Amino acid sequence: MDSVELFGGCGGLALGIGKAGFRSLAIVEMDCEASGTLRANGGHFGHAPGVLCQDVGTVDWTKYCGVDLVAGGPPCQPFSGGGVGAGNLDPRDKWPEAIRAVREIRPRAFLFENVKGLMRKKFEDYRNSVVRALEDEGYKVVLALVDAADYGVPQRRHRVFFLGVRADLGIAPTAPRKTHSLERLVWDKWVDGTYWERVGITALNGIGVSPREKQILRKLKRAGERPALLPWKTVREALLPLGDPDGVNGHVHKEGARTYPGHTGSPLDLPSKAIKAGVHGVPGGENMFVRDDGSVRYYTVREAAEIQGFPAGFELSGAWGTVMKQIGNAVPVALGKVMATSLATAISKGSTMPKVA
């Protein structure tokens, strides 16, 4: 199965799509630094996809007519809670270009990602108009508001995905079921202790049970049964294989991390707060974690990339802030894989269904 991606960034979604079985024919990204990252890492996509460093508005999509999947993350700034929220009045709104790509390519499926801010009441009319436009192109559409931590990503990252399957395939898209939970992590930490064994430290280690965990723990003890899903993955688990910063492959310590009200860093034994692009890659100092002694430090580039799911050999070159911006804009690889796998399954089933006369 082949795919084409708009707004490719530095390749998080493309990597996930590749892991779901799609072969990327082209990735369009107008940011020169991000498109440079895509070119430098072509081998990680299974082959070297064509990287087009240009505005999506200038692309003739008809040359890709009939590919299986169109994917991408239209710019989120018009809908982000951290911005002015101008929506479709913001010149950076590129949803019309995403719809045009679907219209001209006529893929069997599409996968678009955006911030959860798009689900706010103020954008309801515009969001519905996007869905209607995609339906008018002949697709069945479902929206999935998800937390990446619920799918094995060591990060609390809330995003909305638009999943669509061409109606003539006779099958509707479905949002993937959650595979991981906080309840199971609480069980592993405070009931059977297996979490501490996994990370190789003594339980508590100076860290108490949070109020939310206490509430969950009481419910778990009353039920007396281990939750069925897998445990959320934590910062400590994600960073354990990397060790201390060694100056290799972006694993370089950066000074200056500090806390202030509302910006306290990520606890080690929970999923990370969302890795963000922000201004110079440092939105409110939140791209950092809290050590066991209570001090904080910024994530290294390699650590942030690890939390987002980029493979060890993935090259991210440039200044710390520039590279962190690319990482913060990316879709977690594992989350992209889960969503794309759902569509791959749907269109494969649709291809085998008998045609209706």
Domain CATH for 97: 3.40.50.150
Whether 309 maps to a domain, the answer reads yes
Q: What digits encode the pLDDT tens for the residues 178-227?
A: 999 999 999 999 999 999 999 999 876 546 788 999 999 999 999 999 99
Q: What digits encode the pLDDT tens for the residues 75-105?
A: 777 677 665 555 665 667 899 999 999 999 9
Contact yes or no for 116/125 (Cβ under 8 A): no
Whether 322 maps to a domain, the answer reads no
pLDDT confidence of residue 355:
47
Q: What is the mean pLDDT of the chain?
A: 90
Q: Of the ranges 74-78, 262-266, 296-300, which is most confident? A: 296-300
Parent domain of 256: 180-316
pLDDT confidence of residue 15:
96
Do residues 171 and 211 both lie within one domain?
no
pLDDT confidence of residue 280:
44
Do residues 77 and 120 both lie within one domain?
yes
Confidence of residue 356 (pLDDT cuts 50, 70, 90): very low
Contact yes or no for 267/291 (Cβ under 8 A): no
> Which residue in 192, 266, 182, 179 sits closest to 216, CA to CA?
182
Whether 321 maps to a domain, the answer reads no
Do residues 48 and 138 both lie within one domain?
yes
Do residues 170 and 47 both lie within one domain?
yes
Do residues 166 and 198 both lie within one domain?
no
Do residues 192 and 107 both lie within one domain?
no
Do residues 193 and 278 both lie within one domain?
yes
Cα–Cα distance between 161 and 337 in angstroms, integer? 12
The tally of domains found in the chain comes to 2
**Direct distance between the N- and C-terminal alpha carbons of the chain, in angstroms, rounded to an integer:** 26
Do residues 28 and 152 both lie within one domain?
yes
Do residues 173 and 186 both lie within one domain?
no
Contact yes or no for 96/134 (Cβ under 8 A): no
Q: In terms of pLDDT, which residue wins out, 350 or 41?
A: 41
Whether 357 maps to a domain, the answer reads no
Do residues 144 and 216 both lie within one domain?
no
pLDDT confidence of residue 357:
36
- Catalytic, 76? Answer yes
Confidence of residue 261 (pLDDT cuts 50, 70, 90): confident
Active-site residue among 32, 53, 65, 76?
Answer: 76
Whether 324 maps to a domain, the answer reads no
Q: What digits encode the pLDDT tens for the residues 36-64?
A: 999 999 888 866 678 999 999 999 999 99
Do residues 275 and 346 both lie within one domain?
no
pLDDT confidence of residue 223:
93
Q: In terms of pLDDT, which residue wins out, 263 or 133?
A: 133
Average pLDDT over residues 104-132: 95
pLDDT confidence of residue 163:
98
Whether 220 maps to a domain, the answer reads yes
Do residues 233 and 172 both lie within one domain?
no
Confidence of residue 28 (pLDDT cuts 50, 70, 90): very high
Whether 239 maps to a domain, the answer reads yes
pTM confidence score: 0.92
pLDDT confidence of residue 352:
57
Whether 323 maps to a domain, the answer reads no
Cα–Cα distance between 355 and 248 in angstroms, integer? 56
- For residue 285, pLDDT beyond 60: no
Using the structure block, give the residue that is written with the tokens 């082949």.
2
pLDDT confidence of residue 276:
86
